[in-house]
Structure 1
Amino acid sequence: MTDALGEALHLLRMSGTFYCRTELGEPWGLTMPDMADCLWFHVLTSGRCEVEVDGGLTALAPGDVLLVPGGQGHRLFGGDADAPLVTTLPHTFETESYAVLRHGGEGAATHLVCGAVRFDDPAAKHLVAMLPNVLHVRQADDMRATIALMAAEAKAVRPGGEAVVTRLADVLVVQTIRSWLATDPAARTGWLGALQDRQIGQALASIHRDPARPWTVERLANESAMSRSAFAARFADLVGEPAMRYVTRWRMHVAMHRLRSRDSTVSEIAHGLGYESEAAFSRAFKRIVGVSPGQVRTG
């Protein structure tokens, strides 16, 4: 049996836009900027920290992980202090995307590992878009070993420390998302719930793996070992739209990613998604997305 949710998690391969090992003394404050198409993460390895996102406040304890999946700007603080934009503060860059930041007063110390990562695969990006605005995991048992390793690496600069910290951060992001999927009732509804359905999940995985295949409701029903009518009704009920509309929308989701990567021509993308002509693809794209493929390519 295909594990459609497992496949989506497997595709959570990320490219790090920015990682930062942060050493802070109370009182301190930091403002993280908007990072479009990115996910912010914060791992508190020691001390205390409060995070304000969209007016909501979350207190972190050592060993906690907090994600801001939408990449929106937010504020971190320890004590009563101004919160300058983090990009305006001096950093010590060990590599182009990895830095050490020291900031704040002479009070109690706080250590954080923070960063912004981007997901490239369409299924992974769609999964991340389903997450809540703030995802907070408190000292989860299955994450303690990873956090302990990160805390040890963050204490001092050692050869290869940047490589270790960034890879551990990537693992923690996936572990945090997996923990939320396993424990939050919201993960059992909508598209995420459909991925976990034994039969509809099979159909979704097939669409994601091969969006160019000439899918029909009957073919998808066969993939799910269901009758055509039962499949159509169950798919629409779980996913929230008819199967063939989902197929078209998913193709446009993949097309958006390929257009923005600029690795293929519009004609190559059209044929790679099963369209016989660029014109037919362009009509479908504009109907679903609202603009032409060319406008996305040049935008």
Structure 2
Amino acid sequence: MDMFGDLIRGVRAHGSLFGSSTLSPPWALHFVDGAPLTLCTVVTGAGWIVTEHCPPEPLRARDTIVVRGPATFTFVDEVGTRAEPIACGEDCSTPEQGGTRHRLGWSDHGEQVVAGATTLIVGAYPVRGEISRRLLDALPVVLRVDGGGSGDAVLDHLAAEVAVDTPGQQVVLDRLLDWMLVCTLREWFDRPGGEPPAWWAAQRDAVVGRALRLLHAEPAAPWTVAALADRTGVSRSTLAKRFADLVGEPPLTYLTGWRMTLAADLLIERESATVADIARVVGYSDPFGFSAAFKRVRGANPSEFRRTAATGSPADGPARAPARRVR
């Protein structure tokens, strides 16, 4: 498992988190749910994405923008539009409101689409767990990728799929949206002059990339710097320096942080598992040593963390906020 694959595995479209709107100016759709991640791409036409604390971003045909929650945003025909904003969320689902024209179980065949209209495809993503929080932390509130890249082929499939109403449509849309998000994030991280997170570039280093893959594939293994160096074919000193230079911390410090991230999700997902059970899964034979490491990294011991997560307190953070339907 590569690191990016690990981090994005909890970011999945899963039914109903999809909408496609065909709009004629003036319009202003205010997306109020504040989903952890929302992907917007224009099939035809153009508009602007406006958020509260960021400059307006143009969205032309085949451009894609990703907005990181809990920020809400508005899609408008032009900055300063005279249109009254329509709150889009759970109930924004009828064409006469300027909302979704295509959704599972609803076809509008035969309706005329006005020439020059803008068609917007939106996918809102729940983001599950501490693992994917690491990905969110690497993203700005708004990121934009121009059309013409690898996502164009996906967009063609999306546009074709929303125009039909067939069995299995929701599954296809979910997977296409996931594909589109991966393509968008890859291109944004690789953009000329960009500043991707250290781990993104480190994955491509022959030595450090292999070390990261090993740590992610076998997090519970009894790793030492010597063992990791032996598996990557370099000396301990070479691995330690190269890893710290590219990732920003020593290999075993990174491993501890990753183990605690895995443990945080397991504490929530496996309600019947004891702290000792979780400790063994992430490579600790001693639950007391695990608890001490967890508190040092996470700021609370495992039992406290589990209780806090179960109550859904604000400390749980936006990455674990429940998904709402965006049609």
Relative to the length of structure 2, the TM-score reads 0.76
Could you say if the C-alpha distance between residues 127 and 223 of structure 1 is closer, same or farther in structure 2, counting changes exceeding 3 Å?
A: farther
Deviation string 1:162-181 (CA, Å, 9 cap, x unpaired) is 33333221211111122223
Contact kept in structure 1, 2:105 and 2:165, CA below 8 Å? no
1:298: which partner in 2? 307
Deviation per CA, 1:144-167: give whole Å up to 9, x if none.
222122223334545544333332
The CA distance in 1 between the partners of 2:20 and 2:89, in whole Å, is 14
Equivalent residue letter for 2:26: P
Alignment length (residue pairs): 290
Q: CA–CA distance in 2 between the matches of 1:67 and 1:245?
A: 31
Match of 1:45 among 29, 43, 46: 43
Among candidates 201, 204, 209, match of residue 196 of structure 1: 204
Q: Which has the higher strand share?
A: 1
Per the alignment, residue 213 of structure 1 pairs with: 221
Aligned-pair CA distance for 1:200:
0.8
Alignment of 1:240-255 (within 5 A): 240-255=248-263
Counterpart of 2:146, as a letter, is: R
List aligned pairs for 1:1-299, cutoff 5 A: 4=2, 7-8=5-6, 11=9, 14-16=12-14, 18-33=17-32, 35=34, 38-53=36-51, 54-70=53-69, 72-79=71-78, 80=81, 81-87=83-89, 89-91=91-93, 109-120=117-128, 125-155=133-163, 157-186=165-194, 190-263=198-271, 264-299=273-308
- RMSD (Å), alpha carbons: 3.2
How far the C-alpha of 1:32 sits from its partner, in A, is 2.3
CA distance in 2, matches of 1:82, 1:253: 43
Alpha-carbon distance in structure 1 between the residues aligned to 2:87 and 2:72: 10
Separation in 1 of the partners of 2:90 and 2:149?
Answer: 36
- CA contact 1:33–1:74 (8 Å) conserved in 2: yes
Aligned residues: percent identity? 31
SS at match of 1:186: coil
- CA deviations 1:241-289 (Å, max 9, x no partner) are 1222111111111111212223533221111111122222111101111
Deviations 1:106-144 (A, max 9, x none): 996322121222455866553453233322222224332
Structure 2 distance, partners of 1:29, 1:188, is 32
Equivalent AA in structure 2 for residue 134 of structure 1: V
Distance 2:287 2:225 in 1: 24
Asked if structure 1 preserves the Cα contact closer than 8 Å seen for 2:68 and 2:140, the reply is yes
Q: Is the 8 A contact 1:190 1:239 kept in 2?
A: yes
Contact 2:11–2:125 (CA under 8 A) maintained in structure 1 = no
Contiguous gaps of at least 5 residues in structure 1: none
TM-score, length of structure 1 as denominator length:
0.83
Stretch moving more, 77-86 or 214-223: 77-86
Where relative contact order (Cα < 8 A, 6+ residues apart) is larger, the structure is 2
Report the Cα distance in structure 2 between the residues aligned to 1:163 and 1:110, rounded to whole angstroms.
Answer: 25
Q: Give, in whole Å, the separation in 2 of the partners of 1:121 and 1:226.
A: 34
Cα distance, 1:41 vs. partner?
A: 0.5
Counterpart Cα distance in 2 of 1:298 and 1:107? 55
- Give deviations 1:32-71, integer Å, cap 9, x for gaps: 23546x3210121122221023322111112122112455
**For structure 1, which segment, 116-125 or 281-290, has the greater mean C-alpha deviation from structure 2 after superposition?**
116-125
